Amino acid sequence: MKTSLVWFKNDLRLHDNEALCRAIADADEVICCYCIEPQWFDELELGFKKADIHRFKFLEQNVNDLQANLENIGGQLIISAESALTTIPRLVEKYQVKAIYAEQEYASEELNLLKQVTQKLPKTELQLFWGKTLYHIDDIPFSIHNIPLTSKAYRIPTTKTSRPRQTYKAPKFINSPKHIVATKFPSYKAYGFNCNDYNNAKPFLKGGESEALERLEHYTFGTENLSGYRWSRNKSLGMDYSSKFSPYLAVGSLSPRTIYETVKQYEQTVTKNQSTWWLIFELVWRDYFTFKGMRFGNLIFMTEGFKSKSLDFENHQGKFSRWKDGKTGIPFIDAHIRQLNQTGYMSNRGRVNCSSYFIHDLKIDWTWGAAYFESKLIDYDVTSNWLNWHVQAFEIYYTNPVHQSLKYKANNYIIKWIDELRDIKDDSIHAPWLFPELMEQIDYPNPIAVYKKWQRSINSILKKALS
């Protein structure tokens, strides 16, 4: 009798899960477990948790859904409040596990944990499967050490010479040991959260593979919103201006290859246009950041970046606090930060503007902002987050938040997230400090600073107000 263990990590799904499918095929009995690493919720020196309550609650929803889906096919999920370093060896010994099946890791914290676990279990077979990216790591035309420095140099050769592998179907049956009993997701209290934190947390999306697959169907064949994605993706207000797949991709409750296959079906039966191309392009971009992050390792977390560049940072704590609280006095910035704080989500347009303003106007170390996003975002992906901040610091030209607010007609979005500005119906909402009488009537802060490079946008607002 061979008993194997599936160690779920960022692959919280039944569909397209090679590790799960292989374990079921190879073993007589399969044990499934998920381990919460307590250090995920440690307090950082910056004054906030490494992962905050929205990430905790979204994770809980995803893991609970995985547990329910496993039970539907005869499985049980052991959810451990302790580190895998403690839990996995204990399960191996208790149930005489012969082999562990898991998704292959790529970032240093996870690799170090995997190394420690395997060192404790030298006699246990470990089988790892690559499942994070659209293109399999073995199929791309580059070694990790030779991943190009630009996405175009990666994308064109990869898409010309490689194809995404076919997805694995979700298993219909799993044979678990009869005496295995599923365990509940641990309480928020174990990780330093209180009742108010937990009850008030309302993640932007509900987690779980079931929700992820529903979202995929909704955005594609259900509404055909995918057809307009290329032109709507820079908005910030609402649910359907973008796919909202990223939170599910981040925890692995949705497979990138499943998205790819769905888009290809959509192209055959509905339409093939710039929008369908663009969605796949973004999956390839996500792949690129994964492989690029693997190439440069922990350099992507350093202030100087992987190119060892230096920027002149002032690191003013008061400005950092105002940015975190959504009280910079710049409505386009504050609205996005407040949405992040209240829901764990922010649009791509918001991320670009908030990071650019943080680095180039407030002149705060970009790694502080990246760490804050890591704490808050329910779609946190280590390489996507840190390399996008890296790009904003070192590679992309400055973004003007006043101009962007006007360009993308963010009036209603600002009203939704900044209650103090709810009664402003015209374009003065983009720069209320220009109107002293207005500022006297509202409880909204003056800007930390106003910059000359904003003047053209400011003049446009003033001209419209006087006309």
- Asked if the domains at 132-167+209-301 and 317-466 fall in one CATH topology, the answer is no
**Quick check: 108 and 297 in contact, CB under 8 A?**
yes
Where are the chain's structural domains? 1-131, 132-167+209-301, 317-466
**Quick check: 352 and 387 in contact, CB under 8 A?**
no
CB atoms within 10 A of CB 370: 22
Secondary structure of the chain: what % helix, strand, coil (to 5)?
55, 5, 40
Q: CA 317, CA 457: separation in Å to the nearest integer?
A: 28
**The total number of residues written for the chain in this structure:** 467
The model carries a pTM of: 0.97
In the DSSP assignment, the letter for residue 362 is S
Q: CA 448, CA 241: separation in Å to the nearest integer?
A: 31
Q: Domain 1-131 class?
A: alpha beta
Q: CA 117, CA 134: separation in Å to the nearest integer?
A: 27
Q: Which residues contact 268 (CB under 8 A, 6 or more apart)?
A: none
Q: Could you write out the DSSP letters of every residue in 57-76?
A: HHHHHHHHHHHHHHHHTT--
Return the amino acid letter for 81: A
How wide is the angle at C-alpha 5 spanned by C-alphas 97 and 210, nearest 5°? Answer: 165
CA 459 vs. chain centroid, Å, equals 37
Topology given in CATH for the domain delimited by 132-167+209-301: 1.25.40
**Quick check: 3 and 98 in contact, CB under 8 A?**
yes
- pLDDT of the chain, 467 residues: tens digit per residue: 799 999 999 999 999 999 999 999 999 999 999 999 999 999 999 999 999 999 999 999 999 999 999 999 999 999 999 999 999 999 999 999 999 999 999 999 999 999 999 999 999 999 999 999 999 999 999 999 999 999 999 999 999 999 999 999 999 999 999 889 999 999 999 999 999 999 999 999 999 999 999 999 999 999 999 999 999 999 999 999 999 999 999 999 999 999 999 999 999 999 999 999 999 999 999 999 999 999 999 999 999 999 999 999 999 999 999 999 999 999 999 999 999 999 999 999 999 999 999 999 999 999 999 999 999 999 999 999 999 999 999 998 899 999 999 999 999 999 999 999 999 989 999 999 999 999 999 999 999 999 999 999 999 999 988 77
Instruction: Report which of 95, 81, 92, 94 is spatially closest to residue 117, judged by C-alpha positions.
Output: 92
Tokens of 45: 């020196």
Q: Domain 317-466 class?
A: mainly alpha
